[in-house]
Structure 1
Amino acid sequence: MNQNRHLLIIGFVWPEPNSSAAGGRMMQLISLFQEQGYEITFASPAQDSDFMVDLSQFDVTKQTINLNCSSFDEFVKELNPSIVLFDRFMIEEQFGWRVAENCPNALRILDTEDLHCLRTARQKAFKEKRVFQTQNLLVEEVAKREIASILRCDLSLMISEYEIELLTYTFKIDGSLLYYLPLLLESKDIPDLKELPSFEERKDFVFIGNFLHEPNWNAVQYLKETIWPLIIKQLPEAVLNVYGAYPSQKVLQLNNVKEGFLIQGRAENANKVVQKARVVLASLRFGAGIKGKLLEAMQCGTPSVTTSIGAESMCGNLDWNGFVEDDPLFFADKAVQLYQDKNLWFQAQKNGVELIKERYLRTLFEDDFKNKIEELNANLAEHRLNNFMGELLQHHSLKSTKYMSKWIEEKNK
């Protein structure tokens, strides 16, 4: 067993907590491990971005690495981490075999963010105008890659209970390889409703979401073409402010002042923007994971109307902080009701606070997570013996990925 307490995170991108829920999630994981006494190095092959967080301010060492390059082998061997966390399965595919070869005793953890194969299969079904069924996943190439990655790792962190069920029953993955850890909030994030802007002080609808994420772009198109016309028929003066990082030209072209459909681009402060609004609209038609934007709405005391995809795995058996509707007519009606009915709005707001307290507080998860990591570290050899499929895949994929990578490295010379 590796006794040092050094965590290496290999990031798909550098964390941007103000651009996406994934960036916020990564900072939460960093904080959880630091609390357990881990020294952290964050490595990524990604380009620097204008909005990435300054990792040095969080006592995290930043390291740029190269794809398909043996310089990583020397780097990881020298670092000798006790845990390696892969940010999404594509990163595990690239670097997992190198970690297994150079640091065989390091605990390998995958942070799935959300199940990519689920998002992809739903998106395909949507585009092909058919109903998504779970067996669609079994023919997805990305599912084969993602499931192989989950099996090769010692533990995969999951943010959605629905996705854990899917992996357990559809893909027959052993529960000991999966760990439920949703997006987390601190006690200070529980909103004091008396201190937030009141119903009367708020106005307008708001949508917020990173436009590099296809489900968000599709949701805005759906709002523009189908739902918003139904809302302004009932509320002619209504305004919808659409915020999101990285809006493309096609997003900007949807701006229409006459219709009250305003594309605002990146929000300087997402919390302020959502707190000023009366209702959040999240008309997601495909996607996976749980939605940071809807958790943020609860924090801001802003009720929301979303779809069953939007609310998936978010409220357990508790009431939603607003309404969940898949039919565009009902969606628009509920949005108008919530906008106009103060009592309904206030009840929705209270539901959001309850959801945060019961399902998203860090204190509900941190001790159990710490125990899980310690237990795995102490029994890693036995844990791996029980995951024969993972060892098998490690053996075969390691060889194929390794030689493909070495071939690319030679070619690049």
Structure 2
Amino acid sequence: MNKRLLIIGFVWPEPRSSAAGSRMMQLIETFQTQNYNITFASPCAKSDNAFNLESIGVLQTTIELNNGSFDDFVKGLNPDIVLFDRFMMEEQFGWRVTENCPNAIKILDTEDLHSLRKGRHQAFKDEKLFDKAYLFNDTAKREIACIHRCDLTLIISEAEMEILKNDFKVNEDLLLYLPFMLDEISKEIIGNLPSFEDREHFITIGNFLHEPNYNAVLYLKDTIWPLIRKQLPKVELHIYGAYASQKVNQLHNGKQGFLIKGFAEDVNTVMQQAKVCLAPIRFGAGLKGKLIDAMQNGTPMVTSTIGAEGMFGDLEPNGFVEDIPNNFANQAVQLYNNERVWEEKQEYGFAVINNRFNAQKHKKMFLSRIESIVDNLYTHRQNNFMGQMLHHHSMQSTKFMSRWIEEKNKA
């Protein structure tokens, strides 16, 4: 009999809209290689961009917050593994899973550390250096508690692994570094990509509902793009992304070559048409999907320290990492004009994808860790006293708040 996986999604996967959506599809594919029967459940409304999971054999179902119907649902499904998409879903449904399916392995996929992203954003708004005072925020208290309550938490960035181990003192047995899992870029694929001479213009891309992306576009508009445009007066910047609001669209300026293009039907097509990708991210966390897209499509980039975090390891980046606007603009112009440098950086990008994000290597490690936890579940949980403590009734504020809302909704 096939094993059963329940994924509780914060949103329905949108692989064409966000890196988080692509990440979820990679996780689903990994479990499908092991013949899991997969059910994806979410309390969120579906958008038009949501991927049709049933087309790949995944059952889709809607669940309700603060409603006992989930108890009957999960008990009937009786999953072997429950994967929570972001910590908020563990808060809402984790205690119900524990009560109804105590032997189910609970896995948390953070996507990125929300507490880190929130702390950096606040420090940016306060115009202060980010430190532990910003890191140890209220979101961190919730997020770290969720990590302790789960059997395994997937961390997409090595930088975030170090923060969890060193700053939050999380036991490494509860964590697994699992970045994007990508297919190798073959010589044949590389040979079919457009050349330096066949490309033109700059590109940036990102879901506009994600505040770091919107802020980066504003930064480009007000600070960096005028510096580039001064040196390359006929070149354009093409800005792509899902959910462009009125405040985004009003940034469009044809005379300045600053063009809001909106949703990209095919990110590979638009990325391959561009010569250089710009990603001046000033706050955020996790891995930046736009840089992955750039490397996969042979498009060198200029990004910031935050943008590059966790991306390249000991390897050379597929472009330049700059935080000072003038330097950022000058490196962008150099990449745009210098074919030799451009081709060198492009090769670095292929090496990063093939060496650091190798799908087979990371899938094997992930599945091996799950197997180890299944075989030693009792000991694994006994060694996690913090998790036991957080499951204790006196700590379950989320549970009792949910019960109160459930009763209130019946009135």
> TM-score per shorter chain, which class?
over 0.9
CA contact (8 A) 2:2 2:37 kept: no
Structure 1 residues 353-362 or 186-195, which shifts more?
186-195
CA contact (8 A) 1:281 1:305 kept: yes
In structure 2, how many angstroms separate the alpha carbons of the residues matched to 1:194 and 1:317? 26
1:230 aligns with 2:224: no
**Which runs of structure 2 are paired with 1:3-402 in the superposition (5 Å)?**
5-138=3-136, 140-187=137-184, 192-396=189-393, 399-402=396-399
Structure 1 residues 374-383 or 361-370, which shifts more?
361-370
* Superposed displacement of residue 406, structure 1: 1.2
Letter in 2 for 1:93: E
Give SS of 1:242's match. Answer: strand
* Superposed displacement of residue 291, structure 1: 0.7
Q: RMSD value over aligned CA atoms?
A: 1.2
CA contact (8 A) 1:284 1:307 kept: yes
Q: Deviations over 1:49-95 (max 9, x none)?
A: 10111111111000100000000000000100000000000000000
Give SS of 1:77's match. Answer: helix
Structure 1 residues 33-42 or 6-15, which shifts more?
33-42
CA contact (8 A) 2:154 2:175 kept: yes
Residue 295 to residue 397, structure 1, CA distance change in 2 (3 Å): farther
In structure 2, how many angstroms separate the alpha carbons of the residues matched to 1:127 and 1:173? 28
Residue 42 to residue 397, structure 1, CA distance change in 2 (3 Å): farther
Q: Deviations over 1:308-354 (max 9, x none)?
A: 10010100010000000011110000000000000000000000011
* Superposed displacement of residue 43, structure 1: 0.4
In structure 1, how many angstroms separate the alpha carbons of the residues matched to 2:128 and 2:400? 39
- What are the ranges of 5 or more consecutive residues in structure 2 without an aligned counterpart? none
Structure 1 residues 74-83 or 193-202, which shifts more?
193-202
In structure 2, how many angstroms separate the alpha carbons of the residues matched to 1:370 and 1:236? 52
* Superposed displacement of residue 143, structure 1: 0.5
Residue 317 to residue 188, structure 1, CA distance change in 2 (3 Å): closer
In structure 2, how many angstroms separate the alpha carbons of the residues matched to 1:148 and 1:247? 34
Give SS of 2:392's match. Answer: helix
In structure 1, how many angstroms separate the alpha carbons of the residues matched to 2:243 and 2:384? 41
* Superposed displacement of residue 193, structure 1: 2.6
Count matched residues.
410
In structure 2, how many angstroms separate the alpha carbons of the residues matched to 1:235 and 1:292? 27
* Superposed displacement of residue 190, structure 1: 7.3
Residue 374 to residue 11, structure 1, CA distance change in 2 (3 Å): same
Structure 1 residues 401-410 or 12-21, which shifts more?
401-410
Give SS of 2:255's match. Answer: coil
Aligned-residue identity in percent: 60
Residue 231 to residue 188, structure 1, CA distance change in 2 (3 Å): closer
Residue 83 to residue 281, structure 1, CA distance change in 2 (3 Å): same
* Superposed displacement of residue 186, structure 1: 1.4
Q: Deviations over 1:356-413 (max 9, x none)?
A: 1110110121222111111101111110000000110111476322221111011112
Residue 33 to residue 255, structure 1, CA distance change in 2 (3 Å): same
Letter in 1 for 2:120: R
Q: Deviations over 1:200-219 (max 9, x none)?
A: 11000000000000000000
Give SS of 2:64's match. Answer: coil
In structure 1, how many angstroms separate the alpha carbons of the residues matched to 2:14 and 2:267? 13
- What are the ranges of 5 or more consecutive residues in structure 1 without an aligned counterpart? none
| TM-score normalised by the chain length of structure 1 | 0.97
| TM-score normalised by the chain length of structure 2 | 0.98
Residue 254 to residue 191, structure 1, CA distance change in 2 (3 Å): farther
In structure 2, how many angstroms separate the alpha carbons of the residues matched to 1:310 and 1:397? 40
Q: Deviations over 1:105-128 (max 9, x none)?
A: 000000000000000000000011
CA contact (8 A) 1:205 1:279 kept: yes
